[in-house]
Chain A
């Protein structure tokens, strides 16, 4: 596999991103390394080819934003909104992630080895998220679809106003948000969880050590008795 290196200390990010948006034929199956990211924002956003990108260090906001098809590995931490609105592909953060990781993501898989900040998987729209550490408060707020796996703990208000996304937590949940309740895990759910654990480098973690959470579906229609929840 051919490897291409870009040094963000020498080359403007705009040129790197533009190259990465090039014809699929020039990029498919290639391996790209981005050096000296130094917390720059918007690295590798809008990718749309089957290309492997490694960011050697810490990324700023929106790393791999709106990712399609690509596999992006961040060998460091990621700022707010990593993989936001991702459509497909895989994004892997080896360090920790800041707020709003996988915000509104539609598809693909986000793996975070460390902790993730507040509002992780906010308004999730079908992507899968696996966090090796703990997540901050208001995670999975208004999460519509997708699977969210947390090996550590969750903060306050988990799954507030959640729609149909599924949450699996191995550690403690500080508090659940409005309309979020514990669910029994069906055989299908267990399989989804086991597959995600295997895909994210946690294949030896026991799926039965997780609790599942989801929507109680009492806020699906405006009703005066729920006024307190708004």
Chain B
């Protein structure tokens, strides 16, 4: 016995450290197992979770000897924005360029929609309805409400069209450019079903194309129809998922859009196939400059009354992102995922509940199941009670205020008296990819891949 043991100690073979494959990593293997067990694709909410070139790869060049900064407080840095000057009798005036993106009643609970309305109103900005229609609470709580016009036309009606402050014609969204809406049976409650004219409890299959128009030539006629119905009062936005931004923005403008909303793949969804979210679309960083160029080439970029404004969304998280998006040429931004987190989505204080769902705070994305412990992406009456719309609205207003102030801090440091005076030349990039995508030089050099020489 002791002989064997001593043999073991002397001749024990060293082993390599266990190593996961970068290709067949933990997540990939778990997904293969899940697919093998169920025979159906994985469905989840939120936007792309992969690491992508993003605003963090850009830095601002603050004041120096050649440029002078502005004093905080005393020296003004404007943040207001006007949207929809091109055709509408009543353009939209906002105090901050941060707006709330479209999210449906159905994917979100009633209290969640109310919270968004309260917070946005306090912050002087707009909210947007989603796939499913406008609720009276939403119209009541939001001073400025953008009404989405989607392929499904769930809940669409002319009375709500007239009640809206702007209409957003949705061609696509960043999480799933080319995809339609999805809401599973767990969330098709009696109220949701009635609004959407569907049987209760079924899995909603939505079309990916509009039913009565295809292509920008017909889109032009459709936009004209909506303008006629609303007597030319309201701005008409066209929302696109980022794929071919130069062409899509140009066509939206030719079709008559007053505002273009450009959503990158980091943009969230209530539910769609994981494969769609992660493998179709563009990171928002790569889509902004081409979109702006399309507006410039058509002479509608910041050109007086006949201007088309650009709203950018998909992974906007803080004032730096807001400032960078504007510096690259956007007029405003929209937040979705960030707004939900501000309300309390994925909060660590609910960690015990997340564990019961097989996930953890910060990673929870099975919103389609309707079991959200925060009461936000659910239709369960007991869970919904957990969200206090007044407190949550207050949190959202705080968050928007912070983002706006952060953007002002950055803008003042660059010597700008208005956020809109930020420009691409105020930025440099930390990586070659970000430099090429945002078309700003690699820090410390004058090199933009594809644009300039070394």
Q: Tell me, yes or no, whether A and B come into direct contact in the complex with CB atoms closer than 8 A.
A: yes
> Interface 1/0s, chain A 117-132, versus B by CB < 8 A?
0010011011000000
Asked if B228 is an interface residue, CB under 8 A from chain A, the answer is yes
A80-B213, A142-B207, A161-B205 as given contacts; A61 in contact with B218, CB under 8 Å: yes
The reply to whether B197 and A221 form a contact with Cβ atoms under 8 Å apart is: no
The reply to whether A41 and B224 form a contact with Cβ atoms under 8 Å apart is: yes
Q: Residues of B contacting A161 with CB < 8 Å?
A: 205
**B157 contact from A87, A123, A142, A144, Cβ within 8 A:** A87
Q: Write the nearest CB–CB distance from B135 to chain A, whole angstroms.
A: 17
A142-B207, A221-B185 as given contacts; A62 in contact with B222, CB under 8 Å: yes
Q: Residues of A contacting B137 with CB < 8 Å?
A: none
Binds A, one of B94-102, B229-237, B357-365, B397-405: B229-237
- In the complex, the chain A residue whose C-beta lies closest to that of B232 is A14
The reply to whether B225 and A123 form a contact with Cβ atoms under 8 Å apart is: no
**B158 contact from A68, A100, A104, A227, Cβ within 8 A:** A68
| Residue of A68, A220, A227 with highest tally of chain B CB at under 10 A | A220
A46-B230, A100-B211 as given contacts; A224 in contact with B153, CB under 8 Å: no
A46-B158, A66-B161, A125-B153 as given contacts; A18 in contact with B197, CB under 8 Å: no
The reply to whether A17 and B40 form a contact with Cβ atoms under 8 Å apart is: no
Q: How far is the CA of A87 from the CA of B229 in the complex (A)?
A: 14
| Residue of A66, A80, A87 with highest tally of chain B CB at under 10 A | A66
The reply to whether B225 and A104 form a contact with Cβ atoms under 8 Å apart is: no
Q: How far is the CA of A161 from the CA of B206 in the complex (A)?
A: 10
Q: How far is the CA of A65 from the CA of B223 in the complex (A)?
A: 12
| Interface of chain B residues 196 through 239 with chain A (CB within 8 A) | 197-199, 202-203, 205, 207, 211-213, 218, 221-222, 224-225, 228-232
Asked if A53 is an interface residue, CB under 8 A from chain B, the answer is no
Q: How far is the CA of A164 from the CA of B196 in the complex (A)?
A: 13
Q: How far is the CA of A123 from the CA of B231 in the complex (A)?
A: 26
Q: Write the nearest CB–CB distance from B206 to chain A, whole angstroms.
A: 8
- In the complex, the chain B residue whose C-beta lies closest to that of A67 is B158
> Interface 1/0s, chain A 135-170, versus B by CB < 8 A?
000000110110000000000000001011000000
Q: How far is the CA of A62 from the CA of B224 in the complex (A)?
A: 10
Asked if B52 is an interface residue, CB under 8 A from chain A, the answer is no
Q: Residues of A contacting B152 with CB < 8 Å?
A: 123
Q: How far is the CA of A100 from the CA of B205 in the complex (A)?
A: 19
Asked if B443 is an interface residue, CB under 8 A from chain A, the answer is no
The reply to whether B225 and A221 form a contact with Cβ atoms under 8 Å apart is: no
The binding surface of chain A is classed by DSSP as loop
Asked if B156 is an interface residue, CB under 8 A from chain A, the answer is yes
The reply to whether B153 and A80 form a contact with Cβ atoms under 8 Å apart is: no
A85-B153, A103-B212, A122-B212 as given contacts; A220 in contact with B199, CB under 8 Å: yes
- In the complex, the chain A residue whose C-beta lies closest to that of B162 is A46
Asked if B304 is an interface residue, CB under 8 A from chain A, the answer is no
The binding surface of chain B is classed by DSSP as loop
Q: How far is the CA of A153 from the CA of B211 in the complex (A)?
A: 22
The reply to whether A145 and B158 form a contact with Cβ atoms under 8 Å apart is: no
Asked if B23 is an interface residue, CB under 8 A from chain A, the answer is no
Asked if A45 is an interface residue, CB under 8 A from chain B, the answer is yes
- In the complex, the chain A residue whose C-beta lies closest to that of B207 is A142
Q: How far is the CA of A125 from the CA of B161 in the complex (A)?
A: 17
Q: Residues of A contacting B231 with CB < 8 Å?
A: 17-18, 21
Q: How far is the CA of A87 from the CA of B212 in the complex (A)?
A: 16
| Interface of chain A residues 80 through 109 with chain B (CB within 8 A) | 80-81, 84-85, 87, 99-100, 103-104, 106
Asked if A58 is an interface residue, CB under 8 A from chain B, the answer is no
The reply to whether A123 and B230 form a contact with Cβ atoms under 8 Å apart is: no
- In the complex, the chain B residue whose C-beta lies closest to that of A63 is B225
The reply to whether B221 and A45 form a contact with Cβ atoms under 8 Å apart is: no
Q: How far is the CA of A99 from the CA of B218 in the complex (A)?
A: 12
The reply to whether B158 and A62 form a contact with Cβ atoms under 8 Å apart is: no
Q: How far is the CA of A74 from the CA of B222 in the complex (A)?
A: 20
Q: How far is the CA of A222 from the CA of B272 in the complex (A)?
A: 13
Q: Residues of A contacting B161 with CB < 8 Å?
A: 46, 66
Q: Residues of A contacting B202 with CB < 8 Å?
A: 163, 220-221
Q: How far is the CA of A104 from the CA of B206 in the complex (A)?
A: 12
Interface residues on A, range: 35 or more
Asked if B38 is an interface residue, CB under 8 A from chain A, the answer is yes
The reply to whether B222 and A87 form a contact with Cβ atoms under 8 Å apart is: no
Asked if A13 is an interface residue, CB under 8 A from chain B, the answer is yes
A42-B228, A62-B225, A103-B211 as given contacts; A224 in contact with B156, CB under 8 Å: no
A41-B221, A106-B197 as given contacts; A99 in contact with B157, CB under 8 Å: no
The reply to whether A104 and B39 form a contact with Cβ atoms under 8 Å apart is: no
Q: Residues of A contacting B40 with CB < 8 Å?
A: 222-224, 227
The reply to whether A80 and B212 form a contact with Cβ atoms under 8 Å apart is: yes
Q: Write the nearest CB–CB distance from B223 to chain A, whole angstroms.
A: 10
- In the complex, the chain B residue whose C-beta lies closest to that of A144 is B197
Q: How far is the CA of A223 from the CA of B202 in the complex (A)?
A: 12
> Interface 1/0s, chain B 90-126, versus A by CB < 8 A?
0000000000000000000000000000000000000
The reply to whether A123 and B207 form a contact with Cβ atoms under 8 Å apart is: yes
Q: Residues of B contacting A65 with CB < 8 Å?
A: 225, 229
Asked if A219 is an interface residue, CB under 8 A from chain B, the answer is yes
Asked if A52 is an interface residue, CB under 8 A from chain B, the answer is no
The reply to whether B228 and A221 form a contact with Cβ atoms under 8 Å apart is: no
The reply to whether B157 and A145 form a contact with Cβ atoms under 8 Å apart is: no
- In the complex, the chain A residue whose C-beta lies closest to that of B157 is A87
The reply to whether A81 and B213 form a contact with Cβ atoms under 8 Å apart is: yes
Q: Write the nearest CB–CB distance from A227 to chain B, whole angstroms.
A: 7
Asked if A71 is an interface residue, CB under 8 A from chain B, the answer is no
The reply to whether B153 and A123 form a contact with Cβ atoms under 8 Å apart is: yes
Q: Residues of A contacting B212 with CB < 8 Å?
A: 62, 80-81, 84, 99-100, 103-104, 119, 122
The 28 listed contacts between A and B (C-beta, < 8 Å) are A13-B228, A17-B231, A18-B231, A41-B221, A41-B224, A42-B225, A45-B225, A46-B161, A48-B158, A60-B221, A61-B218, A61-B225, A84-B211, A87-B158, A100-B212, A103-B212, A104-B153, A104-B212, A106-B197, A122-B211, A123-B207, A126-B197, A145-B197, A161-B205, A222-B203, A224-B38, A224-B39, A227-B39
Please provide the 3 A-B residue pairs with the shortest distance between their CB atoms, ordered closest to farther: A224-B39, A46-B229, A81-B212
Known pairs A42-B221, A66-B229, A125-B153; list 7 more (Cβ under 8 Å): A13-B228, A65-B225, A87-B158, A103-B153, A163-B202, A220-B203, A224-B38
